[in-house]
Amino acid sequence: NTLIYVSCNPATLARDLKLLKNNWQPIEIQPLDLFPWTMHVELVALMSRVDE
């Protein structure tokens, strides 16, 4: 009932969160700077299944 979503593109994450919103709710989204001195940031989203 837990999903961890890792994305390297904020626009793609936003798109996918919209697609998943009926079944999954984001609990926390954490940016990670895994590539210092670049513009790249990884995003890790902790999600929980929505009870129907």
- Which amino acids are annotated catalytic? 8
Distances (CA, A) of 6 to 27, 31, 48, 51, 52: 14, 10, 14, 23, 25
Residue 42 and residue 32 in contact, taking contact as beta carbons nearer than 8 Å: yes
